[in-house]
Amino acid sequence: MRRNQVAVVGAAETTKLGVIPDVSQIQLHADAALNAIADAGLTIKDIDGFATAVEQPQQICHYLGITPTWVDNTSVGGCSFMIHVRHAAAAIEAGLCKTVLITHAESGKSNIGRTPRGVAPDSLNGQFELPYGVAGPPSMFTIPVLRYLKTHGITQEQMAMVSVVQREWAGKNPRATMKDPITVADVLNSRMIAYPMRILQCCLVTDGGGALILTSADRAKDFKTKPVYILGTGESVETPMVSQMETFNSSRAFKVAGPLAFQEAGITHKDVNHLMIYDAFAHLPLYGLGDLGFMPHEETGKFIADGNTRPGGKLPLNTNGGGLSYMHSGMYGMYALQESVRQMRGTAAAQVPNAKISVCHGVGGMFAASGTVIFTNQR
Amino acid sequence: MPEPQRARPKATPETKDFWDGVQAGELRLQKCNKCSKTYFPPRPFCPGCGHREVTSFKASGKGFLYSYVIHHRPVPGFTPPYSIAVVELEEGPRMMTNIVDCPQTPEALQLDMKVQVKFEKIDDKTTLPLFVPAKG
């Protein structure tokens, strides 16, 4: 795709984040959508393209009163929204629609009107993983960690710093769920979930949602918001079964999506001012730094432990506090995108001074899928 | 109401041979007749080259511990803490399993240690390929 032809002109999260027992999942979609539409200065009738994951487009379009000429329901886990951005940019460039709304919402904590997710006993996951006692992401996403640490010579203490640094970012963010500072000892002494991962290395479980509005860059200049341009994008999938990844030492989906986005954007790693790497668990930023090519995997643990991704560090990472400390309603990719947009608009709670390029990298399932979006505020 | 139990696999036409094998005390893998790739999970074509002629064969049941977690949360049919592991078989493919008949501790579960399949009968209909530390 061509660079900077499409821009984000509306972006918002649900009015409340965290525990929202008085709002259903579909209404969280609507709340986020209406907030984003107001942010863009549009009305619902201006939306002619729509994308979401888990829920079907007709559910949300009917609920909101949208008559689309283009829909996308790519649903590959938490990075679905990065992939929606990529697809929406292509659709807008191709003339299939003019103004795209992308929504995510999940009543992940309160379970109000939540779409059920299940594993059939005759699916491949049901036959070859479920009988061994896996029960959700904390018991599956974590299985590669010990191999990754051993291969790359990364210590558990270094990995614990991922949680410590992200809590430091969250402390600057009034909307973050967890704000109190923590230490490496706090992380390593917190309740064991799935050795080697403790509770402070696992994402939060919350309620919330978010929405984005995209249109052509030419139209974007007429909006009241500062346009945030799509500079480059990438996507891929690998396997629904974590046990069947090609290797636990890296993620194939990351290694396809990330470099595609960098290539399309025509930038090098030195050009990146701000980075989001979807952190469902504390090892994800390590994989991301390595697979996106910022450094060899062997250096990722030391890089974070040395403070390079902290406030004031040379590569600000997960500046909203991430899935570990900000919020995680089930598909966190939308919140990573929201933070990238805020950073590019200059409106983030923990703003990176003069940031011009933001890389937003997502994971779906247990390393099953990946989507990368590179934003800029310069055209 | 009966207590919730361990999840049982349900075979499909394409995986029946594998589960029949386990029931008979054999760990079966498949190999491509054209490019010789050995793969898992079962399917009636080669995921390496797309060739439709493949052969099922009895694997050695030997491998090494590739990675694992020790799960501390309650799951029907399991007593925490218990290991959820991925083993790499001598023939190449990896599969999820549990390492049993040893302490469920980081000290007893060392990456790269040799393991051997153990067929564990769950009920009259279901046997699962679990793994134990290899002897000697």
Burial B114-125 (b: 16+ CB within 10 A, else e): ebebbbbebeee
B77 and B40, same structural domain? no
Residue A307 burial (10 A CB sphere; 0-12, 13-18, 19+): middle
Q: Which of B59, B77, B94 is the last residue of a domain?
A: B59
Number of residues assigned to chain B: 136
pLDDT tens readout for residues A303-337:
999 999 999 999 999 999 999 999 999 999 999 99
In a domain, B48, yes or no: yes
Q: Which residues of A touch B28 (CB under 8 A)?
A: none
Specify the pLDDT at position A197. Answer: 98
Tens-binned pLDDT, residue by residue, of chain A (379 aa)? 899 999 999 999 999 999 999 999 999 999 999 999 999 999 999 999 999 999 999 999 999 999 999 999 999 999 999 999 999 999 999 999 999 999 999 999 999 999 887 899 999 999 999 999 999 999 999 999 999 999 999 999 999 999 999 999 999 999 999 999 999 999 999 999 999 999 999 999 999 999 999 999 999 999 999 999 999 999 999 999 999 999 999 999 999 999 999 999 999 999 999 999 999 999 999 999 999 999 999 999 999 999 999 999 999 999 999 999 999 999 999 999 999 999 999 999 999 999 999 999 999 999 999 999 999 999 9
Specify the pLDDT at position A117. Answer: 79
B17 and B69, same structural domain? no
Taking CA–CA distances from A135, the nearest residue in chain B reads B75
Q: Is the dihedral of CA A376, A80, B48, A134 positive or negative?
A: positive
B91 and B53, same structural domain? no
Task: Tell me if A121 and B9 make a contact (CB, 8 A cut-off).
Answer: yes
- Bond prior to B81 in cis (omega within 30° of 0): yes
Specify the pLDDT at position B2. Answer: 66
Q: Are A117 and A135 in contact (CB under 8 A)?
A: no
Q: Which residues of A touch B79 (CB under 8 A)?
A: none
Q: Which of B59, B77, B92 is the last residue of a domain?
A: B59
Closest CA of chain B from A131, distance in Å: 5
The residue whose two tokens read 């009259």 is B124
B52 and B26, same structural domain? yes
Please tell me the distance from the alpha carbon of residue A332 to that of residue A327, in angstroms, as a whole number: 8
Task: Tell me if A133 and B69 make a contact (CB, 8 A cut-off).
Answer: no
In a domain, B28, yes or no: yes
SS3 A271: helix
| Residues contacting residue A84 through CB under 8 Å, at least 6 positions apart | A51, A52, A53, A72, A74, A102
Task: Tell me if B10 and A126 make a contact (CB, 8 A cut-off).
Answer: yes
In a domain, B70, yes or no: yes
Task: Tell me if B8 and A121 make a contact (CB, 8 A cut-off).
Answer: yes
Task: Tell me if A194 and B73 make a contact (CB, 8 A cut-off).
Answer: yes
Longest CA pairwise span in chain A (Å): 56
Partner residue opposite A146 with nearest CB, options B68, B78, B122:
B68
Q: How many folded domains does chain B comprise?
A: 2
Say if B52 is an interface residue toward chain A (CB within 8 Å): no
B133 and B121, same structural domain? yes
Q: Domains of chain A, with CATH numbers?
A: 6-113+203-376 (3.40.47.10)
B131 and B64, same structural domain? yes
B123 and B87, same structural domain? yes
In a domain, B18, yes or no: yes
B123 and B97, same structural domain? yes
Give how far the C-alpha of residue A136 lies from the chain's centroid of Cα atoms, to the nearest Å.
Answer: 18
B42 and B109, same structural domain? no
Q: Are A20 and A32 in contact (CB under 8 A)?
A: no
B68 and B131, same structural domain? yes
| Residues contacting residue A165 through CB under 8 Å, at least 6 positions apart | A304, A307, A309, A310, A317
In a domain, B7, yes or no: no
In a domain, B2, yes or no: no
Query: What is the percent of chain B with per-residue pLDDT over 90, rounded to a whole number?
Result: 96
Specify the pLDDT at position B132. Answer: 98
Partner residue opposite B68 with nearest CB, options A120, A138, A143:
A143
In a domain, B64, yes or no: yes
Please tell me the distance from the alpha carbon of residue A240 to that of residue A270, in angstroms, as a whole number: 33
pLDDT tens readout for residues B1-54:
567 899 999 999 999 999 999 999 999 999 999 999 999 999 999 999 999 999
Q: Measured between alpha carbons, how far is residue B7 from residues A128, A275, A299, B25, B132 in Å?
A: 11, 40, 40, 20, 21
Q: Which residues of A touch B84 (CB under 8 A)?
A: 132-134, 139-140, 143, 194
SS3 A49: strand
CATH number at residue B69: 2.40.50.840
Provide φ and ψ at B8, rounded to 5°.
-100, 140
| Residues contacting residue A121 through CB under 8 Å, at least 6 positions apart | A127, A130, B7, B8, B9, B10
Specify the pLDDT at position B3. Answer: 72
Partner residue opposite B69 with nearest CB, options A127, A129, A142:
A142
B126 and B105, same structural domain? yes
Specify the pLDDT at position A242. Answer: 98
Please tell me the distance from the alpha carbon of residue A361 to that of residue A273, in angstroms, as a whole number: 14
Q: Which residues of B touch A144 (CB under 8 A)?
A: 67
Task: Tell me if B69 and A127 make a contact (CB, 8 A cut-off).
Answer: no
In a domain, B100, yes or no: yes
Q: What is the dihedral of CA B55, B61, B64, B69, to 10 degrees?
A: 100
Say if B108 is an interface residue toward chain A (CB within 8 Å): no
Task: Tell me if B67 and A147 make a contact (CB, 8 A cut-off).
Answer: yes
For residue B62, list its beta bridge partners: B116
For the entire predicted model, the pTM comes to: 0.97
Query: Mean pLDDT in chain B?
Result: 96
Q: What is the domain extent for residue B108?
A: 60-136
Task: Tell me if B128 and A132 make a contact (CB, 8 A cut-off).
Answer: yes
Say if B71 is an interface residue toward chain A (CB within 8 Å): yes
Q: Are A238 and A138 in contact (CB under 8 A)?
A: no
B29 and B76, same structural domain? no
Query: Which positions in chain A have a beta carbon within 8 angstroms of at least one beta carbon in chain B?
Result: 120-122, 124, 126-135, 138-140, 142-147, 150, 191-197, 241-244, 248
Task: Tell me if A133 and B82 make a contact (CB, 8 A cut-off).
Answer: yes
Q: Which residues of B touch A147 (CB under 8 A)?
A: 66-67, 111
Model-level ipTM above the cut of 0.85:
yes
Say if B125 is an interface residue toward chain A (CB within 8 Å): no
